[in-house]
Amino acid sequence: MTARANGAPADGRTADPAALDGRPGLAKLDALWARGREFFGTRYAILGGAMTWVSERNLVSAISNAGGFGVIACGSMQPHMLEEEIKATRALTDKPFGVNLITMHPQLDELIAVCGRQGVGHVVLAGGLPPGDAIQKIKDFGGKVICFAPALVVAKKLVRSGVDAIVIEGSEAGGHIGPVSLTVLAQEILPHITEVPVFVAGGIGRGEAIATYLRMGAAGCQLGTRFVCATECIAHPNFKKAFLRAPAREAVPSVQIDPRFPVIPVRAIRNAATERFMEFQREVIARFQAGEIDQEAAQLEIEHFWAGALRRAVIDGNIDEGSLMAGQSVGMVTKEQPTAEIIAELIAQAVEFLERD
């Protein structure tokens, strides 16, 4: 794949990390995210966003091998599937990586047990506040717990609960999103949560942004969209092409037609399925109002519209009827390139930015 016609490459350079050795900007960068690097045990405090069907052994190991911290997206995997994925990832890298678990998974306890048996050092709990004693079960086997905080009050609660690090993810991110941008969350949370490392996520596509958030107090950053077009990523070529073509304004949240039938906002690239979803909601609501189905049945139909849609797009390459989950940084994805090159570009951009002082 080549860069799209209407967009320039990231900055025209292919950075060699070794060439940055001795640069004052690199020393500044290392100092700014020293806490994050120590937390992960990595060269760079860059956390790979866990993207279902995308963040599997190949991309995860590539991020870790390039000095970042790859994270397996467990999603709806069964325990035996997760165990095999962890083993397969370990066969591809001897560097640290973690596992992202969805708190609503019906087999969460079993998945945590798998992470313990496999010696996973870091577990990310996503999708809501961790239930019961999930945090303690991870800490009992020596794992570090990372959770998402959509507001300061939640961040404080999580710290009291014993989490080891927090991610604040803005609405610019892809997939399931909250209502507040990273720009606001960073101002709200970073000055007040100092007990544990805080990593920022959502809309980050260049090194200058990473450096800016580090200066505000972040320990590192999480990127997802930027890695979708990595050569090691197994996503279908059609899925990658959709990312290469899309500007930031095309990554939009799903629309809710009627407040009686809530829709969890998901940010994805606009396509035929996006338009069909709005029509589908109107059709289902019309049937409800006509007395053909009750409210619960109508809600279920609306919720099930996207069932399997992400796999259709990522794996099957059906970019018209599938879900093209992407963050607004998609406009900065201009070419397919190796993961190590992506990370090297980000580091070079951050170093040059920090040397402008």
- What's residue 17's pLDDT? 72
The span from the CA of 113 to the CA of 286, in Å, is 46
> How big is the CA angle at 207 (ends 199 and 4), to the nearest 5 degrees?
120
Judged against a pLDDT cut of 60, whether residue 10 lies above it is answered with no
- For residue 100, what pLDDT band results from cuts at 50, 70 and 90? very high
pTM: predicted TM-score of the whole model, two decimal places: 0.93
- What's residue 7's pLDDT? 34
Q: How many residues are there in the chain?
A: 357
- What's residue 122's pLDDT? 98
**If you average pLDDT over every residue of the chain, what do you get?**
94
Joined tokens for residue 64? 């870790």
Q: Which of 239, 248, 199 is nearest to 219 (CA)?
A: 199
Residue 180 backbone dihedrals phi, psi, to 5 degrees: -115, 140
Q: What is the pLDDT of residues 230-251, one digit of tens each?
A: 999 999 999 999 999 999 999 9
Which CATH architecture group holds 17-236+331-354? Alpha-Beta Barrel (3.20)
- What's residue 15's pLDDT? 58
- What's residue 22's pLDDT? 83
Residue type, 39: F
Residue 64's Cα: distance from chain center in Å?
A: 15
**HEC profile for 41-90?**
CCCCCEEECCCCCCCCHHHHHHHHHCCCEEEEECCCCCHHHHHHHHHHHH
- What's residue 6's pLDDT? 33
Domain positions in the chain are 17-236+331-354, 247-314
Q: What is the pLDDT of residues 193-224, one digit of tens each?
A: 999 999 999 999 999 999 999 999 999 999 99
SS3 112: helix
Q: What is the pLDDT of residues 101-143, one digit of tens each?
A: 999 999 999 999 999 999 999 999 999 899 879 999 999 999 9
